[in-house]
Amino acid sequence: MSENIYIGVDLGGTAIKVGICNQEGELLHTYEGPTEKEKSSDAVIGNIEKYVRYIVEQSPYEWDQVVGVGAGVAGFTDVRAGVILMAPNINFQNVPIRAILEERLGKTIRVDNDANVAALGEAWSGAGKGITDCVCYTLGTGVGGGIIVNGHIYQGFSGLAGEIGHISVVPDLEAIKCGCGKMGCLETVSSATGIVRMAVEAVERGDHTSLSAIEKVSAKDIFDAAKAGDEVSIRIINRAAFYLGKSMAAVAATLNPERFIIGGGVSKAGDILFNEIRRVFAELTPEPLQRGVEIIPAKLGNDAGIVGAAGLLLR
Residues of this chain that bind its own copies (CB under 8 A): 133, 135, 145, 147, 149, 154-168, 171, 178, 180-185, 246-247, 249-251, 253-258, 283-289, 291-293
Distance of CA 140 to the CA centre of its chain: 8
Q: At its nearest, how many Å lie between its own copies and the CB of residue 61?
A: 34
Strand partners, 139: 143
DSSP-assigned beta bridge partners for residue 137: 145, 262
When the beta carbons of 255 and 272 are compared against its own copies, the nearer one is 255
Q: Smallest distance from the beta carbon of 107 to its own copies, in angstroms? A: 27
Q: Are 113 and 75 in contact (CB under 8 A)?
A: yes
At its nearest, how many Å lie between its own copies and the CB of residue 240? 18
Q: 73, 63 in Cβ contact below 8 A? A: no
Beta bridge partners of 19: 8, 30
CB of 180 to its own copies, least distance (A): 4
Distance CA 194, CA 236 (A): 9
Closer residue to its own copies (CB): 168 or 210: 168
Q: Which is nearer to its own copies, 28 or 293 (CB)?
A: 293
What is the dihedral sign for C-alpha 94, 97, 102, 103?
Answer: positive
Q: Which is nearer to its own copies, 72 or 144 (CB)?
A: 144
- Shortest distance in whole angstroms from residue 135 CB to its own copies: 8
Q: CB-wise, 30 or 290, nearer to its own copies? A: 290
Of 160, 10, 9, nearest to 85 (Cα)?
160
